[in-house]
Amino acid sequence: MSYDDVEIEDMQWNEELRAYTYPCPCGDLFQITKEELKLGEEIARCPSCSLYITVIYNAEDFADNKSKNNLEPPKRQAIAVA
Ligand SMILES: [Zn+2]
């Protein structure tokens, strides 16, 4: 069982660790890197104790989306108002 489920929005990007972090009750930080997220990893572990959390995120947000960036923006359909 994971200690908690945490949404990625509630985690903090830590520039030093190059990872998303979330406070662990032991005083350290749960950590998960972008690379792990990209691979579909959803477990952020604390390096100081055996606890871990399940990270809730949209994998597509972290997937290699170079091709996605080339996609045309969604076409807006003109809505004719009579
Ligand atoms: Zn801990």
pLDDT tens digits along 30-44: 999 999 999 999 999
66 in any annotated domain:
no
In the chain, the number of structural domains is 1
Q: How far is the CA of 16 from the CAs of 19, 26, 35, in angstroms? A: 8, 20, 15
**Beta carbons within 10 angstroms of residue 36's beta carbon:** 18
pTM for the predicted model, two decimal places: 0.74
- Between the CA of 45 and the centroid of ligand 1 the distance, in Å, is 8
CATH number reported for the structural domain that contains residue 54 in this entry: 3.10.660.10
68 in any annotated domain:
no
For the chain, 82 residues long, the average pLDDT of each consecutive 10-residue run is: 93 97 97 95 96 94 66 64 66
- Between the CA of 56 and the centroid of ligand 1 the distance, in Å, is 19
72 in any annotated domain:
no
- Between the CA of 58 and the centroid of ligand 1 the distance, in Å, is 25
Domain extent, residue 30, equals 4-61
